[in-house]
Amino acid sequence: MTQMTTHTIEVPGGAVVAFDVCRPEAPDDHRPLFVLGSPMAASGFGQLIGHIDDRTVITYDPRGTERSTLGLDGEVTVEGHADDLNRVVEATGLAPVDVFASSGGAVNALCWIVDHPSDVGRLVVHEPPLVTLLEDRETARKVTADILDTYQQRGYGPAMAKFVKLVMYPGPLPENYLDDPAPDPVQFGLPVQDDGSRDDLLLSRTLGMPPFEPDAEALRASAVNIVAAIGAEGEGTMARRGGQALAELLGLEPVVFPGDHGGFAANEWSPGNDPEAFAQRLRELLEAAE
């Protein structure tokens, strides 16, 4: 059993960020663990942290998601997210923490530890979509621009269908990728009709952030223990290739976690994922560094 408390802090730009601290009933000797993603909020990691009851766990909602609000200018950047992570940890008073960061959250965490290395002991970077490190980066940028344009012109369903196709594509994107017919939203259970809204965080802001290029020299020299992690499933997909590229950049061997890009949760998209096995793999990595 754990005891959870919820908190909010104001961050630069007028945004408010919500975070949770789950403490085990029995005293523990482990370093606290911050579990995070982006744009995935704390609720997306419920199955994972349900299997981690031997240490204090921090989760949060990135600005603009669920309980957290955007700033007055609505701006979302990797650097802004990184600063928010620092402020959350400072607010808990628990630094240094270990970190499991997935997807966009992993990208933000790589920026965070360059500016605030004393916040973190060990960082597990799980499948960061580091487009700047990939051989097909120019095509990926064009495809992303097409998704953003589709969202503005046709709405959520058609744009999200293109995004799902992109992240599921099993290999480097060919130069003529955009010549293929647009995917049908219905095949992904997405709406065809445009409801007129344009406030989806991923499609209106996150995908439009400037591509982030990790500071290889700073990361190699960092006192933070960095683990580059990939999923056992999804070979060739963009995020998995990003994890492999990061490992190569830093001279590391990628660590394999069970499941796919979201291996920490079993759902209708990935019913074969095993959150308990995922949590066990994560605990093994963290305990090896203690």
Return d(Cα 250, Cα 196) in angstroms, integer. 44
What is residue 288's predicted lDDT score, i.e. its pLDDT? 84
Assess whether pLDDT exceeds 80 at residue 29.
yes
Q: What would the pLDDT profile of 120-155 be if each residue is shown by its tens digit?
A: 999 999 999 999 999 999 999 999 999 999 999 999
Do the Cβ atoms of 24 and 2 come closer than 8 Å?
yes
* Domains by residue range for the chain, with CATH: 2-130+212-288 (3.40.50.1820), 137-207 (no CATH)
Looking at the chain, which runs of residues are DSSP E strands?
Answer: 2-11, 15-24, 33-36, 57-60, 97-102, 120-126, 225-231, 255-257
State the DSSP H helix or E strand holding residue 105, giving kind and residue range, or none if neither: helix 104-115
Amino acid letter, 117: P
Q: For the segment 256-276, what is each residue's pLDDT rounded down to a tens digit?
A: 999 999 999 999 889 999 999
pLDDT for residue 224: 97
Residue 154 backbone dihedrals phi, psi, to 5 degrees: -125, -10
> Residue 65: pLDDT above 80?
yes
Q: What is the dihedral angle through the alpha carbons of 7, 11, 14, 15, rounded to the nearest 10 degrees?
A: -50
Structure tokens at 52: 């981690």
Q: How far is CA 218 from CA 114, 115, 116, 224, in A?
A: 6, 10, 12, 10
Instruction: Tell me if 94 sits within 8 A of 58, measured CB to CB.
Output: yes
pTM over 0.85: yes
Peptide bond into 181 cis (omega under 30): no
